[in-house]
Chains A and B, each alone.
Chain A
């Protein structure tokens, strides 16, 4: 039997959060952490609350902290997460808890909104589409794949302390995705908004974001590119 400990908190009835233990029989199979949560919810306590949708690492709903490491529960097998037959599941750190494993992502989305994550181009749109060379298109690889699950930003201490001022790895990865896009014309305006001591420069390069990204992306590298663009523009 797998020992599962789940963070429980209902702000309407509980004075403070608590950890609740469950015993789960996985039949010896190496299932995903989300499957374990489904088993608990279906068989033991239907009030256990979490977000989920696609169950295959595409939607980014079930970002959780599993045995101390952020990741998507649906694509994290027990063999990766469980230590000593114990699985501790907590909500993503640093964000307010709405209930159990569900966090309020407003701060995260507010930072995403700040980087204006859309193409800005004032030239008349061509009849079919704005073309890119294969080389320019290749610059977006490793950037466009982000699913905004918030695993990276909520593993970043700089984001924990300043979630209202530091854009965070997820937002900055998206920022660079548009800075690097040959079709975008707002590069200068975008960079001008990033040159303060918080938005980009709270990143101290500890790479927690790289360590947890379930899609294998590298926000630290993207932040380095933004820094280089700011540097070339200002020196």
Chain B
């Protein structure tokens, strides 16, 4: 058993499942968005769409899915390329720094989205 404390759910199976489910949620969200505004949208229509509670809840769900999906994906890429095996001990430092920066960015985007949606 390989240990990993920076992965999303600590378990490979959980990360794998979260990535699949979040992908389905994102697909459903973008299809809904496409159907709602696909043939052009005015500001009034756009505002009315996002004033409905279900759309705000769905949007928060989508952004949380995106956050989890992005973290799992970025974590996989960073642990592939920025490693001790690839670049010596500095790989570990660089990877950890990149992981912190990625999670900070994801956190900021999530809070920002919630602020936009509910303000």
Q: Report B1-39 residues with CB < 8 Å from chain A CB.
A: 1-4, 7, 10-17
Q: Which residue of A lies closest to B6 (CB)?
A: A197
Is A41 an interface residue when CB atoms closer than 8 A count as contact?
Answer: no
Given A196-B2, A197-B2: A231 and B83 within 8 A (CB)? no
Contact (Cβ within 8 A) B79 A162: yes
Contact (Cβ within 8 A) B7 A197: yes
Taking CB atoms, residues of chain A closer than 8 Å to B75 are: 197
Given A165-B2, A227-B16: A195 and B11 within 8 A (CB)? yes
Is A158 an interface residue when CB atoms closer than 8 A count as contact?
Answer: yes
Contact (Cβ within 8 A) B17 A198: no
Given A195-B12, A196-B4, A196-B12: A231 and B17 within 8 A (CB)? yes
Kindly supply a per-residue 1/0 record for chain B positions 68-99, scoring 1 wherever the CB is within 8 Å of any chain A CB and 0 otherwise: 00000001100111010110000000000000
Taking CB atoms, residues of chain A closer than 8 Å to B14 are: 234
Taking CB atoms, residues of chain A closer than 8 Å to B1 are: 192-196, 199
Is A144 an interface residue when CB atoms closer than 8 A count as contact?
Answer: no
Taking CB atoms, residues of chain B closer than 8 Å to A164 are: 85
Q: Which residue of A lies closest to B16 (CB)?
A: A201
Contact (Cβ within 8 A) A195 B86: no
Contact (Cβ within 8 A) B12 A161: no
Q: Which residue of B lies closest to A167 (CB)?
A: B2
Question: Quick one: which of B12, B81, B83, B85 contacts A197, CB cutoff 8 A?
Answer: B12
Contact (Cβ within 8 A) B80 A161: yes
Taking CB atoms, residues of chain A closer than 8 Å to B15 are: 197, 201
Taking CB atoms, residues of chain B closer than 8 Å to A234 are: 11, 13-14
Contact (Cβ within 8 A) B12 A201: yes
Contact (Cβ within 8 A) A161 B81: yes
Q: Report A153-172 residues with CB < 8 Å from chain B CB.
A: 157-158, 161-165
Taking CB atoms, residues of chain B closer than 8 Å to A157 are: 80
The complex places the Cα of A71 from the Cα of B83 at a distance, in Å, of: 29
Kindly supply a per-residue 1/0 record for chain A positions 198-230, scoring 1 wherever the CB is within 8 Å of any chain B CB and 0 otherwise: 111110100000000000000000000001001
CB of B1, distance to nearest CB on chain A (Å): 5
CB of A195, distance to nearest CB on chain B (Å): 5
Contact (Cβ within 8 A) A158 B80: yes
Given A199-B2, A227-B16, A231-B17: A161 and B11 within 8 A (CB)? no
Taking CB atoms, residues of chain A closer than 8 Å to B4 are: 196-198
Given A164-B85, A165-B2, A201-B16: A196 and B80 within 8 A (CB)? no
Taking CB atoms, residues of chain B closer than 8 Å to A231 are: 13, 17
Question: Quick one: which of A162, A163, A192, A200 contacts B12, CB cutoff 8 A?
Answer: A200
Taking CB atoms, residues of chain B closer than 8 Å to A194 are: 1, 12
CB of B101, distance to nearest CB on chain A (Å): 20
Can you spell out 14 A-B residue pairs with CB atoms less than 8 angstroms apart? A161-B80, A162-B79, A162-B83, A162-B85, A163-B85, A165-B2, A194-B12, A195-B1, A196-B1, A196-B3, A197-B4, A197-B75, A197-B79, A201-B16
